[in-house]
Amino acid sequence: MTIENYTQLSAAAIASGVRAGELTPHDLISSSFKRGAEIGAGPEELNIILYSDEKASRAEAEETATHLKSAEDVGILAGVPIAIKDNIASFGLPTTCGSKILRGYVSPFEATAITRLRANGALVIAKTNMDEFAMGSSTENSAYGPTRNPVDVRCVPGGSSGGSAAAVAAGITPIALGSETGGSVRQPAAFCGVVGVKPTYGRVSRYGLVAFASSLDQIGVLGRTVDDAALGLECIAGFDPLDSTSSDADVPIYRLAALGKPAPEARNPDTEAIRIGRSPVPLPPPPSQNTLEGVVIGKPREYFPDSLDGSVRDLCERALDRMRWMGATVRDISLPRSPLAIPVYYILAPAEASSNLARFDGVRYGLRVDPGKGLRPMYEATRSEGFGPEVTRRILLGTYVLSAGYYDAYYKKAQAVRTLIADDFRAVFTGGVDAIFTPTTPTTAFPIGAISDPYEMYLNDIFTVTANLAGVPAMSVPIGRVRRLPVGGQIITAHFDEYKMFRVAYALEAALGAEAHQ
């Protein structure tokens, strides 16, 4: 293993190379920054990275290198460079949520997810661009300019975690953290040809994730491969006393899902050695006709409408055929209330946002614009100057649906329909379906500036938003390309069954091989 092929190295390979002394944290930092410069990750070109500090990253690498010499367990992400979406609070680098209202803000505390990455030896090298406060599907809504898709720079990378997806696609880091409220990890993952995982609501602590819509928000992982994403999620998942909605459910070793078997029943010394990086994951067998034996894949008709792009449909059918070949049974199913998800989401998420974003008022941190006319004009001037058009629109929409006279018709109604949408998923999974397969998005990445109508932009989330409303885990994996642009396939499983989701994803990735990127 050599550093020369850095952009092709998986996170697991990097950590293993670092532990074996074949790679050094210093070299990895150099390679990551060099790749960022080569690809033009800065604001003048692709605008993937908002903030980085090479000197500080080198100091962090030095600490890791010192720790490597003295510690027995150096973590399963030893020396792995990682990029972080700009709405996840980090020490050292600004956390601005892609907004002018937080320009220059450096968080006094750090998100639990980042703390856990660092504890596993990861090197946080950059904060990535995003739609302001995660409101958008193209990363065009950033106050710091749009990000371009490294696969085709004329196109958007998707959003709102567009910078993180682009960082992984461009080979700057093998793993990046993003966040999801309605598809903001999976959709950019699909557009950039990488893997994106939204875990079950409660699986990953939200402590330090700047709140957008608290009942929907989750930190997610983007990786170059399924294994990168599995490894990243393993590190950040699990109960956190700092987030009362985090779950204490046991976190399986997702990487073992590559072996094509159900999760081990209980913890044992062998698997624990794998968990902490002392033993490698056994080499998975190549995909065969029994890799997915006994697995039932649901194909929901609402996610394959007549209007679906024919090329996207064909690639989904190819993926389903591969799963059939591996022994899976594909069953036609229905999630009848899914077509209601966009209206439900665009009532509930703005409603919660209108409350969460009330904290940005020019008093305790961030921007203050004071016209000198008293407190209330200061609030209004600060917020009007600090928030961009989409954030303003959603705050107003949320305020409207919560206001007297409209609360029952919109907000309460949407909450009830949300129950029905979650019931649909529950019925499918209790009815014997192991995993649901759909396209991640209806189309491939679109050109920058192509969509100006807000509701048309919202429809980008049409296949992803249901998983957020139901709280179930979902991920996007590359399944091919249409006119050189990546297409993602979505795998959804029941609450806290990420292991099964990874099992299907590992199998599909192996069965498609290079075709996933052709």
Partner 1 sequence: MSVTRDDVLHIAELARLGVDAHRADELVKELSAILSHMEVLSQVDTASVATTAGVGAGGTPLRPDVGVAPLMRETLASMAPAMRDGFFLVPRLATHEDSSESGA
Kindly give, in sequence order, each residue whose CB lies less than 8 Å from that of residue 120, ignoring residues fewer than 6 positions away.
75, 76, 77, 78, 235
Q: Please, how many CA atoms are within 13 Å of residue 363, restricted to the half-sphere of its CB?
A: 10
Report how far residue 432's alpha carbon sits from residue 428's, in angstroms, rounded to the nearest whole number: 7
> Which one is catalytic: 30, 32, 107, 184?
184
Shortest Å, Cβ 366 to partner 1? 8
* 435-439/329-333 β-pairing: unpaired
Shortest Å, Cβ 390 to partner 1? 10
> Which one is catalytic: 16, 32, 57, 85?
85
CA distances from 304 to 41, 182, 229, 312, 441 (A): 36, 19, 26, 10, 11
Q: Whose structure tokens read 């018709």?
A: 409
Shortest Å, Cβ 429 to partner 1? 12
Shortest Å, Cβ 57 to partner 1? 17
Shortest Å, Cβ 362 to partner 1? 6
Kindly give, in sequence order, each residue whose CB lies less than 8 Å from that of residue 36, ignoring residues fewer than 6 positions away.
42, 48, 49, 52, 126, 170, 172
- Helix, strand, or coil here: 272? helix
Shortest Å, Cβ 418 to partner 1? 4
Nearer to partner 1, 85 or 495 (CB): 495
| Residue 232 · residue 223 · CB < 8 Å | yes
Nearer to partner 1, 323 or 401 (CB): 401
Q: Whose structure tokens read 């069954």?
A: 497
Amino acid code (one letter) for 137: S
| Residue 369 · residue 103 · CB < 8 Å | no
Helix/strand/coil (H/E/C) assignment for every residue in 59-107: HHHHHHHHHHHHCCCCCCCCCCEEEEECCECCCCCCCCCCCHHHCCCCC
Shortest Å, Cβ 339 to partner 1? 8
Nearer to partner 1, 422 or 482 (CB): 422
Nearer to partner 1, 268 or 430 (CB): 430
| Residue 138 · residue 457 · CB < 8 Å | yes
Q: Is 184 a catalytic residue?
A: yes
Nearer to partner 1, 5 or 244 (CB): 244
Instruction: Kindly calculate the radius of gyration of the chain based on its CA atoms and give it in whole angstroms.
Output: 22
Nearer to partner 1, 271 or 399 (CB): 399
CA distances from 309 to 14, 41, 194, 304, 312 (A): 38, 31, 20, 9, 5
Helix/strand/coil (H/E/C) assignment for every residue in 17-65: HHHCCCCCHHHHHHHHHHHHHHHCCCCCCCCCEEEECHHHHHHHHHHHH
Nearer to partner 1, 9 or 494 (CB): 494
Nearer to partner 1, 70 or 307 (CB): 307
Report how far residue 353's alpha carbon sits from residue 360's, in angstroms, rounded to the nearest whole number: 11
Q: Is 160 a catalytic residue?
A: yes
> Which one is catalytic: 57, 160, 164, 354?
160
Q: Is 100 a catalytic residue?
A: no
Shortest Å, Cβ 202 to partner 1? 5
Q: Whose structure tokens read 């949520």?
A: 97
The residues annotated as belonging to the active site are: 85, 160, 184
